[in-house]
Amino acid sequence: MEKVETTSAYDEWCLSVAPMMDWTDRVCRAFHRTLAPGARLYTEMVHAQAVIHGDRERLLGFDPMEHPVALQLGGSEPAALAQAARIGADWGYDEINLNVGCPSDRVQAGRFGACLMREPVLVAECVAAMRAVVSIPVTVKCRLGVDEQEEYGTLLEFIDTVAAGGCDTFVVHARKAWLKGLSPKENREVPPLRYGHVYRLKQERPALRILINGGITTVDAARAHLAQVDGVMLGRAAYHDPHVLHRLDAALAGTAEQPREALLRAFLPWVEAQLARGLALRHVTRHILGLFHGQPGGRAFRQILSEGASRPGTGIELIERALRATQDLSRAA
C-alpha cells in the first residue's frame, strides 16, 4: 500500500498504542500504522483458550504492514498460555503480552486480568512457561495494584517476582484498579494517576524496560514521560484524536508532520483492497471518525461517515465525500 513518506528513526519500544477491546482490530492497526510508522501496535486481548480452540484467522490474522505488532493474551493457566504463545509466535507476532490490568467482572470471573496483581508468583509461572516455548519477547501489562494495594513496595514486589520469571519489559498503567464498585471505564478515570511510582520503578530497576500508560494525551506530555521511562503507550487518545499519534511519531522520528488529508489518502489504497475482498465500509469508518478531531469540518466528517457507512453498496466514495465537506468547511473557517 502507499505510505506517507517517513521513517522509523527511534527505538521500537519508545511509542506504542494500547490494546483496546473492540477497538484495536486489524483495520484499526493498519490505520495506526499509516499514522505512525515507528509505533508498536497491540491486538485486542485474546484469551489463551480462544487462541487454542477458536478461529485463528479471525482472531490472529494481521497484515505484514503492522510490524512490529504484539499479541496480547488473557489467561492464568501457564500451560494454556504457553500453547497460545507458541501459536502466536508461529503466526509471526513480534511479542506476546500478558494482560494483568483489565478490571472487568467477566475477566475477574475467569481469574485473569487485574486480579492477577494479587498473584505475582502465578504471573511469574505464566511468564516462565511462555518464555520456555517462544524466542520473541514475553511482556506484561499491569496496574500499580488493586483495591487496598496502595504502597509502592507492593508494586515493586510484584515486578521483582515477575521479572524473576523471565520478564524484562513491563507496561505499567499508572493507576491502580478497583475490582469492585467501578466499571472498566471508571477504572480508567477515577483512580488517581501516580506517574511517580512508574518513574521510581525505572530508577530502582534500571535493567528493566519500563513503559508508561494512562492519561497521556499530548505530544508534550509524552516527551516529558520519555525523559523518565523507556516508552509511552497511548490509549484512547490515539483512537479519539489519532492525529496526536502521528504528531508524536513525527516528533520522535524527526520528520515533518503530514496533514490529516494526506494521511487518510495514504490509507485509502489499503481500504480499497479490503473492500474488494468483501470488508464492509463501516468496519473502516468507525476507526477514522476522530481524524479531524477539533478541526473545522470535523463534525461534518464524522456525520457523513456515520450516516452513510452502513448503507448497502457504499464504497470509498463516501470517504471522499466526507473529505470534500471537511475541506470546504475548513476553507470557510
**From CA 218, how far away is CA 225, in angstroms rounded?**
11
Among the listed residues 14, 28, 102, 126, the single catalytic one is 102
Q: Is 213 annotated as a binding residue?
A: yes
DSSP SS3 for 243: helix
**From CA 266, how far away is CA 183, in angstroms rounded?**
37
Q: Is 180 annotated as a binding residue?
A: no
Main-chain dihedrals φ then ψ at residue 71, nearest 5 degrees:
-100, 120
Q: Is 1 annotated as a binding residue?
A: no
Q: Is 185 annotated as a binding residue?
A: no
Q: Is 215 annotated as a binding residue?
A: yes
DSSP SS3 for 232: strand
Secondary structure (DSSP) of 134-161 = -SS-EEEEE-S-BTT---HHHHHHHHHH
Q: Is 72 annotated as a binding residue?
A: yes
Q: Is 118 annotated as a binding residue?
A: no
Q: Is 236 annotated as a binding residue?
A: yes
Q: How many residues does the chain have?
A: 333
Q: Is 20 annotated as a binding residue?
A: yes
**From CA 162, how far away is CA 120, in angstroms rounded?**
6
8 A C-beta contact, residue 141 and residue 171: yes
Q: Is 88 annotated as a binding residue?
A: no
Could you give the C-alpha distances from 228 to 12, 48, 197, 256, 323, in angstroms and in order? 17, 33, 11, 25, 39
8 A C-beta contact, residue 175 and residue 192: yes
102 is catalytic: yes
Residues that constitute the known binding site? 19-21, 72, 141, 173, 213-215, 235-236
Indicate which residues carry an active-site annotation: 102
Residues that constitute the known binding site for FMN? 19-21, 72, 141, 173, 213-215, 235-236
